[in-house]
Amino acid sequence: MKTLKNKKTEKKQFYIDNVAKFCDKCGAVYKLQDIKIIQETGNSAVMHFLCPNCKSENVANFLSPAGLTTKIPINCDLNLQELKRFTSQEVISLDDVLEVYVSLEDNEGYVKI
C-alpha cells in the first residue's frame, strides 16, 4: 500500500518528467525538492518550480483532459506563500466589482471610468 508521501513523490516525478525537466532560464535540471504542488483537481494541477541554480520561480498549469497534456509556464515574482494565498482566493464576480464601484461612488471615492 502506497503512503501519502510516496504518492506525492510519484506525482512530482510525473510532473518533472512530463511538464518541466529543465529551468527555462538557465537549463538546470529540476529535482523533486524543486517542485511544489499548489493546487490539484481531478484533471488539472498548478505547480511551482524553483530553479536550484538561478532561483528563477515558475508556475505551470497542467491539464490532462482526454489524456492530453498542456504546459503553460509563467515566470513570476511571487514567492510560494504569496502564490498559495492568491490561488486559494474565491473567484470575484461581476456583482462584487459592481458593489465596490457603487460603494466608492456613493462615498465620493476616486473612481473614474
User: Which carries the bigger pLDDT value, residue 24 or residue 34?
Assistant: 34
Least Cα distance to 80 among 60, 57, 112, 109 occurs for 57
- The answer to whether residue 16 is domain-embedded is yes
- The answer to whether residue 113 is domain-embedded is no
- The answer to whether residue 101 is domain-embedded is yes
Number of domains the chain contains: 1
The terminus-to-terminus CA distance of the chain in angstroms comes to 59
- The answer to whether residue 73 is domain-embedded is yes
pTM over 0.85: no
42-101 residue pLDDT tens: 778 888 888 999 988 888 888 777 655 666 666 677 777 887 777 777 778 888 888 888
With 90 as the cut, is the pLDDT of residue 34 above it? yes
Model pLDDT, residue 2: 67
Which three-class secondary structure state does DSSP give residue 96? Answer: helix
- The answer to whether residue 111 is domain-embedded is no
Summarize the confidence of residues 25-36 as an average pLDDT. 92
**Domain containing 11: what range?**
4-106
